[in-house]
Structure 1
Amino acid sequence: MRRRLLAALLGGALLTAGLTGCGIPANSDVQVDGAGPAAGAGSTNGGGSQPVTQAATDDPKEFVRNYLAAAAGEREQADYRVKQFIAPEAKSRLRKKQSSEIALTVVRLRESPEARSNSDGSYDVTVRVQQVGVLRADGWLAPPAAPETEYRFKLRPAGSGQPGLVLTDLPNVLLLSDEALHSYYVEHTIYFWNSDQTQLVPDQRYLPSAVPAERRVTEVVKWLAGGPSDWLAQGVTRLPDGTAPINNATGSDERWEINLAMPGANEPRLARLATQLAWSLSELSGQLDLKIQNQNRLTVDLKQERLDNPAYPTIGSPERYSLYDGAIHPLSFAGESSGTVPVAAAANKGIVSAALSRSQHDILAALVVTRADRKQRLMVGSGPDQVTTFNGTGWYASVGRPTWLRSLDPQHRYGLVVVDKRLYRFDDLAGLKLIPLPGPVTAVAASLDGHRIALIVDGALYVAAVSLDGGVVSVGQPRRLVTRLTGLTAVDWYAENQLVFAGSELRSEGRPERSIYQTTVDGALDTPLKRDVGAPVTHLAAYPAHLAAYPGGPAGGLPTGSYMYEANRVAYRNNPPDTIKRDQVLDVAPPAAGAKASNPTVPFFLY
């Protein structure tokens, strides 16, 4: 269900990514508003298609675009496909590597390639790029390694009666455009247990879309045995050292067999591995026979395993709220359920930001309140239906929007908040503990699994792993994500492996513009959701689009890919795109005669 839902939702988003991946057309002012997240685990972006493997075109720009897709697909054939584009005298420029060593430099074209024709019939083509990352053989998109902002190519006619063009001079690196990444690869999520093995944590990988199902099973097992992506490692647990597939997985849609070497494979460890495999192979159903050193040890019904062991905490139906005159109020939209205010009236005043979260049978509330001198403090509390008792921090110059770290352990109720441009952990007693990070921090948002966060540090977007060992919250080395936007002001989680964020972009006509974008957790996707916002986005909140597709997720509720934001003290929603009006705010008194009504501000979700 999850695969079908996300694949259907993302057709439009991927088309948009394809149209915008090579720069913003100079004559286009189209706004893409409300697109869903990119393809989820197990869904196919490219429908099994393969990149162009020959260069029969006389258009030098098209030729280079095709070349930037040639390395896509299975690694064993990457070198062969690329060399079909290269003149015989230039093929030595690319050193042949083993498929396990091949790493593809993924780039985003800032604009259309520039081509110049020469008197001898050759062409010089320049491609200006943004470095996105390095796609490794294990499917992980590592951070960028190259400094180049442009690449130059020289082309000539193929000659000898052959149509098209060939490369005579080219960069000595295997390049892959982000368009080709999304066209010819599957975004596939695998899962690792957190440090105390109570929660699964997603890790995004890429697999050529043409790879058949049985090969996908084998690759997923290799990925799990190889360990998590580097940036995620601090927040998760690896499989035991020495774990490795003995041979390829076998089977069909109804019965699969995996044979592993796995030291210390006792029953609890195998049970955890079964859950890990069921979610990492979430597009498959049927039975999985798990063998250790050729011995049958466990048979798993993949679908039932996912039902019995949800990837995320069970949550209720989502509800929308906003602030109105410094107090929390429910929002009411047609077709959506509205809740009651889960904060006692005595505490529901002077609020400038808030985060509400469900934790088993309790509501967790973190409120940022202000006083006459504009100093701010964080107030934290919890309760079964309505939070009546709060604990407070000291007063500070500024306190950002707080975020709760969701956990299956009711004893570990922690969140993160930015105070005076530094990141702090808070607990349900409002105790603050500094988490040192380089650079000024202006925003933080936590994923639903509670072990990954997004940060805005010095105006740039980062992700980091979070560990909760023994109740001690620590944050791993942040990874910077590449995006077209600069001067970022707000961020939230848009889906399991998706972020929505706001900042400034320089349009092709040289005009800066405030925009809202979405990206993947590795920065590979960079798709505009809303352009020309008109003012800096000061608040941004999203409802993760993948929740309803999971066992335990809410039925119905909000449209997929819902987010709300505030700009210039006006609140907006994206489904449908519109301002949030006063008459959509519940339980507010009408303004006095002749008085101007206030605007709803700081919209957010409770789920």
Structure 2
Amino acid sequence: MTRRFLAGLIGGVLLLGGLTGCGIPERTEVRVEGPGPAAEGGATNADRIEPPLRTAADSTEDFVRNFLAAPAGEPDRAYERVRQFVEKGDRSRLQEKRGSEVALTVVRLTKNPEITTNLEDIDVTITVQQVGRLRADGVLAPPEATETSYRFRLRPTLESGDQTDWYVADPPTVLLLSVDALEDHYLPRPVYFWSSDRSRLVPDQRYLPRAVPEDRRVSEVVRWLTDGPSEWLDRAVSPLPDRTQLINNATRTDDRWEVDLDMPGEDRTRVDQLGTQLAWSLSWLDGPLELKIRNQQGVTIDLEQRRQERPLYNVEGTPQRFCVYEGSIHPLLYPGEPVGSVPVAEAVNTSVVSAALNRAGTGVHAALVVAGPNGRKHLSVGRGFPPVSAFERSDGPGWSTVGRPVWLRSAAAHAPVGLFVADGRLYRFDGRAQPSVVSLNVPGSVTAVAAALDGHRLAVVVGGVLHVVAVTLDGGVLATGPARRLPTLVTRLSAVDWYDENRLIVAGSAAGRWALYELSVDGALEVALEQDIGAPATHLAAYPANPRGGQFGLAMFVANEVAFRPGRPPERIQREQVEDVTAPPNGVRPGNPTAPFFLY
């Protein structure tokens, strides 16, 4: 470090670059209507990124940023890396833990750090939102800390010649990791567990340090699987048999990987299913993998071929856009996109407020929210070969407000199950449209629900706050696990849907404006998609990016009673895009398309 650092000691308060004054990260890349997450063709040591060194900064701003990235990397060296930033006399303040107990305190900066110069040192105050605890197993667990700010000092030390070095004095007792450092120094790597009925795979978000060498990344992923799922998913998935563990590290000869496990009570079916778990959990690898049990011949799979043969999700066909126009479902026209016919018979396609249509093999499951003569809303459910004409209607007086219904894809085709929100409560319904209340054990009014493609994870908005919850279906009976609250700077949430396997699209208020944000399933990473949509989004529907569905990331929403698809600026959905409608007579104002959704 040179004399350029001395300029950082002058000027009072200095602000860390890369953040806007409103407190929201200036991250406005739009991923709508474009490709979803793509698998890497093959990891190499060239993509390894080590955490920054103490001497790597050219300014006090950089030093603070690097200090908040210092614990990144392999967990067993986290304390050593942070100690290099701290004055020797203060290193004992760090509450050191070892092995699996190592956890980093992940924080989101809610405003620019305050860096104030004094006569002998520099005061630093960072104001934060607690995001979670990044554990050694790659899980970002819910936060335990409650601090909203941290203070420490930077003490300049003159080294040889004219160079000046900084050390941290009075450091926080925990290892702080910023969400920016999480994004820069870790690879999001979902691992997959079989659902509780072992019928489908459910993703579990993890973070792999970029500092881990390529040849050890396979071993890390296998250990994540043997250690079991994240706590919030535990009720919905099936772990490997107790005491399953990796024998030595995974090895590679040429392009062939070998994994040797001690797996009590294994059988051919479980070993084969584990092979499918590994194929998807190691999605960046191709070629053969030999899975052995206690060094005995098990199963050899071609990773890419297994992924092709055993797709993750039952997503049928290309998504098609629909909307509700003047009380009926109609297709939406977009250049280059397929246009389908309405799979609901004309006789029952009336008084529709919103709808959820799912393909189920050659049939369709249809859930319609319909308006009654007294203004109350009811649920109407039908299924069969399109166009579906036989519908059953919910009993009772109906509800004043009903949100968009969703289907659970984990349910059997002959016994469909769905969810909807009405008058502040979450309901389950079946093929006979009979609703029953679902308890989330979270105080507040429920305003939105969305179901992931796997059918075992829900996103719900309760009291304007976002939660995720795992669900299971046992004989058609729906059971929920404990809800996990997601940290986000977006407040007053009004709508949510799944945008890919482990990301959500949410509507709410950010920096005083109504906006759309993309948010990771653990709340760590958030990106602005639309920073000003003018009004709260009252309806939001997405087609989630996924390996089976062509890697889309599509969304449509309604704000101020006008339907849009995101873009820069948002693109209004015009009446002319609505198929099978006639122009109104002269002098009659045409209606607006409403409640857009995807059929897939």
Please report the TM-score for the alignment, with normalisation by the length of structure 2. Answer: 0.92
2:151 is equivalent to residue 152 of structure 1: yes
Query: Is 2:562 the counterpart of 1:570?
Result: yes
Q: CA separation of 1:499/1:160 partners in 2, compared to 1, >3 Å: closer, same or farther?
A: same
Whole-Å separation in 1 of the counterparts to 2:104 and 2:276: 32
What is the 5 A alignment of 1:195-210? Answer: 195-210=196-211
Could you list the per-position Cα deviations for residues 87-114 of structure 1 after superposition, in whole angstroms to 9, with x for gaps in the alignment? 1111111133324221000001112211
Do residues 491 (structure 1) and 483 (structure 2) align?
no
Q: Secondary structure at the match of 2:189?
A: strand
Instruction: Choose the corresponding residue for 1:584, options 577, 583, 595.
Output: 577
Find out whether 1:405 has 2:397 as its counterpart: no
1:93 aligns with 2:96: no
Q: What code does the residue aligned with 2:590 have?
A: A
> In 2 relative to 1, CA 249–316 (structure 1 residues): closer, same or farther, beyond 3 Å?
same
Matched, 1:231 2:232: yes
Q: 1:155 is matched by which residue type in structure 2?
A: L
Q: Aligned partners of 1:280, 1:255: CA distance in 2, in Å?
A: 16
Instruction: Give the whole-Å Cα distance in 2 for the aligned partners of 1:328 and 1:433.
Output: 26
Distance 1:542 1:397, change over 3 A: same
Q: Report the alpha carbon displacement of residue 254 of structure 1 after superposing the two structures with TM.
A: 2.1
Q: Distance in 1 between matches of 2:285 and 2:303?
A: 7
Letter in 1 for 2:402: V
Describe the superposition over 1:385-425 as per-residue Cα deviations: whole angstroms up to 9, x where unpaired.
Answer: 21111111131222221100013732331111112211111
Q: Are the equivalent residues in 1 in contact too, given 2:557–2:595 (CA < 8 A)?
A: yes
Measure the CA separation in 2 of the matches of 1:68 and 1:267: 47
Deviations 1:356-393 (A, max 9, x none): 11111111110001123321111011122211111111
- Alignment coverage as a number of residue pairs: 575
- Counterpart for residue 5 of structure 2: none
* Shift, 1:65, TM fit: 1.1
Residues 533-587 of structure 1: CA deviation (Å, up to 9, x unaligned) = 11110001111122xx33xx35xxxx83211000011000125731000101111
How many Å apart are 1:39 and its aligned residue? 5.3
Contact 1:24 1:111 in 2 (8 A): yes
Task: Read off the aligned partner of 1:421 and give its amino acid letter.
Answer: G
TM-aligned CA deviation for residue 31 of structure 1: 5.5
Quote the Cα distance in structure 1 between the aligned partners of 2:560 and 2:343: 27
Amino acid at match of 2:223: K
Query: CA separation in 2, counterparts of 1:306 and 1:195?
Result: 21
Further displaced range: 249-258 or 137-146: 249-258
2:277 is paired with a residue whose SS is: helix
Match of 2:346, SS state, is: coil
One-letter identity of the residue aligned with 1:256: W
The DSSP-based 3-state class of the residue aligned with 1:181 is helix
Aligned partners of 2:24 and 2:489 also within 8 Å: no
State the match for 1:335 in structure 2. Answer: 336
Residues 1:338 and 1:24: Cα distance change in structure 2 (over 3 Å): farther
Map of 1:171 onto structure 2? 172
Cα 1:172–1:39, aligned 2, differ >3 Å: closer, same or farther?
Answer: farther
Find the residue that maps to 1:473 and give its secondary structure: strand
Q: Deviations over 1:11-54 (max 9, x none)?
A: xxxxxxxx998455689999644456885666989932222112
Does the alignment pair 1:469 with 2:469? no
**Contact 2:36–2:552, Cα closer than 8 Å, also in 1:** no
Deviation of the 1:190 alpha carbon? 0.6
> Per the alignment, do residues 487 and 28 of structure 1 end up closer, same or farther by CA in structure 2, a change over 3 Å counting?
closer
CA distance in 2, matches of 1:195, 1:347: 37
Q: Is the 8 A contact 1:40 1:189 kept in 2?
A: no
Q: Does 1:382 align with 2:374?
A: no
CA contact (8 A) 2:23 2:111 kept: no
Q: Is the 8 A contact 1:496 1:544 kept in 2?
A: yes
Contact 1:495 1:544 (C-alpha < 8 Å) held by counterparts: yes
Equivalent positions of 1:412-561 (< 5 A) are: 412-437=415-440, 438=442, 439-506=444-511, 512-546=512-546, 549-550=547-548, 553=549, 560-561=552-553
The unaligned stretches of length 5 or more in structure 1 are 1-18, 507-511
CA distance in 1, matches of 2:26, 2:313: 39
Separation in 2, partners of 1:30, 1:84: 31
Kindly indicate whether the alpha-carbon contact (under 8 Å) linking 1:539 and 1:602 is maintained by their aligned counterparts in 2: yes
1:50 equivalent to 2:50? Answer: yes
What are the Cα deviations for residues 580-599 of structure 1, in whole angstroms up to 9, with x where unaligned?
A: 00101111111111011111
Task: Report the Cα distance in structure 2 between the residues aligned to 1:396 and 1:42, rounded to whole angstroms.
Answer: 48
Deviation per residue, 1:460-512 (Å, 9 max, x gap)? 00111110122211111110101111110000000011100000122xxxxx1
- Corresponding residue for residue 325 of structure 2: 324
**8 Å contact from structure 1 (residues 58, 165) kept in 2:** no
Given the superposition, is the C-alpha separation of residues 299 and 408 from structure 1 closer, same or farther in structure 2, using an over 3 Å criterion? farther
Tell me, in whole angstroms, the C-alpha distance in 2 between the residues paired with 1:164 and 1:47. 29
**2:586 partner SS:** coil
Task: Report if aligned partners of 2:449, 2:458 keep a CA contact under 8 Å in 1.
Answer: yes
Deviations 1:76-97 (A, max 9, x none): 2212211121111111111333
| Contact 1:20 1:527 (C-alpha < 8 Å) held by counterparts | no
Partner Cα separation in structure 1 for residue 81 and residue 283 of structure 2? 31
1:137 maps to amino acid: A
Structure 1 residue 357 and structure 2 residue 358: aligned? yes
Q: Residue 536 of structure 2 contacts residue 560 of structure 2 at CA under 8 Å; is this kept in 1? A: yes
Change (3 A) 1:27 1:103: closer
Q: CA 1:27 to 1:274, structure 2 compared with 1: closer, same or farther past 3 Å?
A: closer
User: Structure 1 pair 30/303, CA: closer, same or farther in 2 (3 Å)?
Assistant: closer
Native 8 Å contact 1:42 1:281 kept in 2: no
Can you list the C-alpha shifts for 1:158-209, whole angstroms capped at 9, x where unaligned?
Answer: 2343522111111100000000001010100111111111111111100012
Aligned 8 A contact 1:23 1:109 in 2: no
**Alpha-carbon offset, residue 67 of structure 1:** 0.1
How far apart, CA to CA, are the structure 2 residues paired with 1:376 and 1:350? 10
Q: 1:38 to 1:462 in 2, by over 3 A?
A: farther
CA root-mean-square deviation? 2.2
Q: Is the 8 A contact 1:490 1:503 kept in 2?
A: yes
What amino acid maps onto 1:594 in structure 2?
A: G
Structure 2: which amino acid aligns with 1:280? S
Aligned to 1:69: 69
SS in structure 2 of the partner of residue 415 of structure 1? strand
Distance 1:142-1:50 versus aligned 2 partners, 3 A rule: same
Alpha-carbon distance between aligned partners in 2 of 1:194 and 1:261, rounded to the nearest angstrom: 22
Q: CA deviation at 1:269?
A: 1.2
Among 582, 586, 594, the residue aligned to 1:601: 594
Query: Using a 3 Å threshold, how does the CA distance of structure 1 residues 529 and 310 change in structure 2: closer, same or farther?
Result: same
In structure 1, C-alpha distance between the alignment counterparts of 2:200 and 2:323, rounded to whole Å: 31
- Residue 346 of structure 1: SS of its match in structure 2? helix
Alpha-carbon distance change, 321 to 38 in structure 1, aligned in 2, over 3 angstroms: closer
Residue 116 of structure 2 contacts residue 123 of structure 2 at CA under 8 Å; is this kept in 1? yes
Contact 1:376 1:399 in 2 (8 A): yes
**SS of the residue aligned with 1:73?**
coil
Match for residue 11 of structure 1? none
* SS of corresponding position for 2:343: coil
Gaps of 5+ in 2: 1-15
Residue type of the partner of 2:491? T
CA drift at 1:300: 1.5
